[in-house]
């Protein structure tokens, strides 16, 4: 049996793990943050060369930052000087003269354009005298509501890249003042092992333009490990560049022992840009590596700098023999808001998604699959944590996936995977903690073709480790469009108030509850538009599969396709999602294709709670004791399925056993009685309430699951607040979300 040794420099400790064949589990596993794992060494018997991957970002934790003369000052497009100031937070400051203020159009309200955008929630400070500080007082939120509408995330002093100041007409505006824009918390840019940007995040080095990060550490090189690979990233900081079709170049350099071994000039198109690089290092060892950037102000970083083997072969045929070669590539594709019945397998029209239907024929198919909630945040929290939404406290737009959670991405990274995420941002973003465990996390709401190309770029940057790639798309989410270039008509695909007014409660004695501006005809027309988007996604998914074949011609990768929730069209009075746990909002597709997977249909009920255990089993890693689901490749029994609406109050929960389903209300983290009951075998549309009909089984099913429900509603970790910037707030608004998750 082949054995492998993995050594990690973690605070001086060495972690040794013995591993057997492909299906063996790790015999020992420490829960260590990925950022602390700096060197992965794998050796095999028979005289094969040692294979080594050295992660440089963790080594920078005790490195130094050096600045060129005048490095921490830049110029805005209008010539104003911009100064970097670091105290308890990180700020860009500039001087505002009296002539820079312009009338806003509202009485006594003046505005000045902000020169830069922050990385998270934009904060502004104005200093110069006590009167200026006293002017930033109440009432501004109400004034801005006239411009923007109350979104509920507290963006009151800034709006559309401008800062607003109430000033009495009895006196002149200040002759001069210092305006500071909050860029981020100090930890965001001071933590040298982790980058958290607006678009690009992950393991890496954040380097301000005209500065450099220096790592002084002796590292041995060998013929099997001497290629430095990394991704250079540019994100616009200057507001003018956010709208520019072409921006000034920034120059990235790497010096090794004083010699420039890499230089690259990179621009961006307003969305930011990334580029993958590989540099062959010379000599038997190195002692000093410097990463530097030169140019105008921007958010610039080196993501995933790793020294590894040069000749890596291909995903299915590595150029070396090591235990990680037995770990298969894994790709998780999540089509947000994709209801199960968009596919023929789930009873839908076969013409809607012919490519996905053909893909399903190659898969392990689960026709009875449920989500764990009815909107994106809690369902993704479940997928990555292996626990239910209330347990991990990621259950409303003000909370994020806590850092204490050891995500499946983190565990795969420790097992030797190269982890990457390509998402459509908004909720699936660093703001909500979903970057945890990913070396490269690229979030941008753009076109589906862009999603495919970004996924291609990640796969092309192969360094010999097996990839875990997470791909997420909002293609069928609101605003509903037949194609991505089609106009939205009416605005956002349907009356905006309808999309934002999802149910806060459901009453048992009223069938379907009408809403302002809705009708059965309008809902049917809206569903047609939604289904046109499904067909367009299906065409894009075919292109995605074609792209994968160029990297995986022999089918060595596992591909998991699912959704996070469904979509309602007045079946029970609601439009969209975030509503009660009826079937139209919680039924999802769940498909697995890969080596050794015999295409077949498994009738046992499954859920997104099974995602983490399934991904772990595909990778051959030991099951985490916190995972509550089951690996689906070996599923041989039926289990109860649970789903939670996750509203702050009067929130519905569901239990499914076989074809019997209960819906109840969550009150004070408990469910005291069933509310509705349906036999899905004869009533898949949930119209015939069995409790009202006098059936006895609902009470019996409830009693069997009452303790479990109460347990799954209890938090296991403390709540962590989300960090939203104005771009992400705009993304949420564009998707139809309103204050407080309405």
CA distances 657 to 221, 488, 539, 628, 715, Å, are 57, 41, 36, 17, 24
C-alpha 409, offset from chain centre: 11
| 584-603 average pLDDT score | 97
- CB contact at 8 A, 494 and 526: yes
- pLDDT at residue number 37: 47
- pLDDT at residue number 485: 72
- CB contact at 8 A, 452 and 541: no
Q: pLDDT confidence of 20, banded at 50, 70, 90?
A: very low
CA-based nearest residue to 303, from 200, 412, 425: 200
Task: Judge whether residue 175 has pLDDT over 60.
Answer: yes
For the chain, how are helix, strand and coil distributed in percent, rounded to 5?
Answer: 25, 30, 45
- pLDDT at residue number 730: 59
Three-state secondary structure call for residue 522: helix
| 235-239 average pLDDT score | 92
Q: Which of 30-34, 144-148, 520-524, 614-618 has the highest mean pLDDT?
A: 614-618
Please tell me the least confidently modeled range out of 23-27, 156-160, 258-262, 385-389.
Answer: 23-27
Task: Judge whether residue 9 has pLDDT over 90.
Answer: no
- pLDDT at residue number 506: 31
pLDDT in tens, 431-458: 889 999 999 999 998 889 999 999 999 9
- pLDDT at residue number 172: 80
DSSP 261-328: EEEEEE---SS-EEEEEEEE--SSEEEEEEEEEESSS-EEEEEEEEEE-S--EETTEESS--GGGGSP
- pLDDT at residue number 29: 28
Q: How many CB atoms lie within 10 A of CB 494?
A: 25
| 51-80 average pLDDT score | 78
Q: What is the mean pLDDT of the chain?
A: 81
CA distance 412 to 36: 14
Cis previous bond, 315, omega within 30: no
CA distance 143 to 408: 45
Task: Judge whether residue 14 has pLDDT over 70.
Answer: no
pLDDT in tens, 627-645: 999 999 999 999 999 999 9
Q: pLDDT confidence of 128, banded at 50, 70, 90?
A: low
Planar angle of CA 468, 474, 477, nearest 5 degrees = 150
Burial class (CB in 10 A: 0-12, 13-18, 19+), 400: buried
Q: pLDDT confidence of 322, banded at 50, 70, 90?
A: low
Task: Judge whether residue 28 has pLDDT over 70.
Answer: no
Planar angle of CA 112, 117, 123, nearest 5 degrees = 75
- pLDDT at residue number 397: 74
- pLDDT at residue number 613: 97
303 - beta bridge partners?
204, 231
Please tell me the least confidently modeled range out of 5-14, 36-45, 476-485.
Answer: 5-14
Strand order in the sheet with 211-220: 64-67, 211-220, 285-294, 250-256, 259-266
Q: pLDDT confidence of 413, banded at 50, 70, 90?
A: very high
CA distance 622 to 19: 11
Structure-model confidence comparison of residues 160 and 629, the more confident one: 629
Structure-model confidence comparison of residues 625 and 28, the more confident one: 625
Q: Which of 13-17, 263-267, 569-573 has the highest mean pLDDT?
A: 263-267
Tokens of 82: 């911009």
Please tell me the least confidently modeled range out of 322-331, 521-530, 680-689.
Answer: 322-331
Three-state secondary structure call for residue 111: strand
- pLDDT at residue number 19: 26
- pLDDT at residue number 103: 87
Q: How many CB atoms lie within 10 A of CB 634?
A: 8
Planar angle of CA 470, 476, 478, nearest 5 degrees = 115
| 688-716 average pLDDT score | 94
Task: Judge whether residue 38 has pLDDT over 80.
Answer: no
pLDDT in tens, 607-630: 999 999 999 999 999 999 999 999
Task: Judge whether residue 7 has pLDDT over 70.
Answer: no
Tokens of 181: 């824009």
- pLDDT at residue number 735: 56
DSSP state, residue 46: T
pLDDT in tens, 93-116: 999 999 999 887 777 778 888 889
Structure-model confidence comparison of residues 322 and 187, the more confident one: 322
Q: How many CB atoms lie within 10 A of CB 616?
A: 22
| 412-418 average pLDDT score | 95
| 120-143 average pLDDT score | 54
Please tell me the least confidently modeled range out of 46-50, 106-110, 201-205, 378-382.
Answer: 46-50
CA distance 488 to 494: 9
Structure-model confidence comparison of residues 417 and 176, the more confident one: 417
Planar angle of CA 53, 58, 59, nearest 5 degrees = 85
- pLDDT at residue number 488: 52
Q: pLDDT confidence of 539, banded at 50, 70, 90?
A: very high
Structure-model confidence comparison of residues 667 and 362, the more confident one: 362
CA-based nearest residue to 343, from 589, 653, 599, 539: 589
DSSP state, residue 425: B
Structure-model confidence comparison of residues 259 and 319, the more confident one: 259
- CB contact at 8 A, 427 and 474: no
CA distance 304 to 88: 27
- pLDDT at residue number 78: 83
- pLDDT at residue number 246: 77
């Amino acid at each position: 049996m082949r054995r492998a040794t993995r050594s990690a420099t973690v605070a001086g400790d060495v972690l040794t793990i013995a591993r057997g064949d492909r299906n063996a589990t790790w015999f020992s596993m420490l829960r260590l943050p990925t950022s602390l794992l700096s060197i992965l060494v794998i050796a095999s018997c028979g005289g094969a060369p040692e294979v080594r991957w050295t992660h440089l970002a963790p080594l920078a934790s005790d490195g130094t930052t050096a600045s060129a003369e005048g490095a921490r000052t830049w110029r805005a497009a209008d010539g104003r000087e911009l100064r970097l100031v670091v105290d308890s937070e990180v700020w860009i400051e500039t001087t505002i003269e009296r002539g820079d203020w312009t009338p806003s159009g509202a009485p006594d309200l003046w505005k000045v354009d902000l020169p830069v955008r922050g990385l998270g929630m934009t904060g502004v400070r104005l200093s110069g005298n006590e009167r200026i500080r006293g002017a930033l007082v109440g009432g501004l939120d109400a004034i801005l509501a006239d411009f923007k509408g109350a979104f509920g995330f507290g963006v009151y002093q800034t709006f559309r890249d401008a800062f607003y100041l109430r000033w009495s007409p009895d006196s002149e505006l200040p002759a001069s003042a210092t305006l500071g824009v909050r860029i981020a918390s100090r930890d965001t840019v001071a933590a040298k092992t982790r980058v958290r940007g607006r678009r690009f995040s992950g393991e890496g080095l954040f380097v301000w333009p005209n500065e450099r990060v220096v790592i002084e550490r002796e590292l041995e090189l060998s013929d099997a490990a001497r290629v430095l690979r990394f991704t250079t990233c540019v994100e616009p900081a200057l507001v003018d560049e956010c709208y520019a079709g072409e921006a000034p170049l920034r120059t990235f350099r790497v010096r090794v022992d004083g010699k420039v071994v890499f230089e690259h000039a990179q621009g961006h198109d307003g969305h930011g840009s990334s580029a993958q690089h590989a540099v062959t290092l010379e000599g038997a060892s190195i002692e000093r590596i410097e990463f530097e950037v030169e140019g105008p102000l921007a958010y610039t970083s080196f993501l995933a700098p790793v020294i590894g083997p040069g000749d890596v072969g291909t995903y299915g045929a590595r150029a070396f023999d090591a235990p990680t070669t037995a770990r298969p590539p894994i790709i998780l594709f999540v089509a947000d808001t994709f209801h199960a019945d968009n596919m023929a397998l789930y009873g839908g029209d076969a013409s809607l998604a012919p490519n996905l239907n053909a893909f399903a024929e190659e898969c392990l198919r689960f026709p009875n699959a449920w989500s764990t909630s009815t909107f994106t945040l809690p369902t993704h929290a479940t997928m990555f944590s292996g626990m239910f939404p209330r347990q991990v406290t990621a259950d409303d737009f003000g909370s994020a996936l806590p850092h204490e959670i050891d995500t499946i991405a983190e565990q795969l990274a420790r097992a030797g995977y190269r982890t990457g995420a390509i998402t459509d941002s908004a909720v699936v973003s660093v703001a909500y903690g979903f970057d945890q465990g990913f070396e490269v996390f690229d979030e941008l709401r753009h076109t589906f073709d862009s999603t495919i190309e970004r996924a291609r770029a990640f796969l092309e940057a192969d360094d010999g480790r097996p990839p875990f790639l997470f791909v997420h798309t909002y293609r069928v989410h609101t605003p509903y469009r037949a194609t991505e270039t089609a106009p939205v008509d009416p605005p956002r695909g349907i009356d905006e108030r309808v999309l934002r007014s999802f149910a806060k409660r459901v009453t048992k004695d009223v069938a379907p509850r009408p809403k302002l501006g809705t009708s059965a005809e309008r809902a049917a027309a809206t569903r047609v538009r939604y289904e046109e988007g499904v067909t367009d996604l299906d065409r894009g998914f075919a292109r995605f599969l074609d792209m994968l074949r160029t990297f995986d011609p022999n089918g060595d990768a596992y591909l998991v396709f699912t959704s996070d929730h469904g979509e309602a069209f007045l079946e029970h009075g609601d439009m969209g999602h975030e509503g009660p746990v009826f079937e139209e909002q919680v039924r999802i597709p769940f498909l697995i294709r890969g080596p050794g997977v015999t295409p077949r249909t498994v009738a046992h009920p499954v859920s997104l709670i099974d995602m983490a255990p399934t991904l772990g089993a595909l990778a051959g890693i030991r099951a985490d004791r916190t995972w509550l689901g089951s690996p689906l490749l070996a599923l041989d029994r039926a289990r109860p399925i649970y789903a939670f609406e996750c509203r702050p109050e009067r929130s519905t929960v569901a239990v499914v056993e076989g074809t019997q389903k209960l819906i109840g209300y969550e009150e004070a983290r408990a469910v005291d009685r069933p509310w509705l009951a349906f036999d899905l075998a004869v009533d898949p549309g949930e119209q015939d309430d069995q409790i009202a009909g006098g059936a006895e089984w609902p009470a019996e099913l409830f009693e069997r699951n009452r303790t479990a429900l109460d347990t799954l509603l209890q938090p296991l970790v403390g709540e962590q607040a989300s960090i939203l910037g104005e771009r992400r707030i705009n993304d949420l608004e564009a998707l139809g979300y309103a204050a407080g998750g309405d």
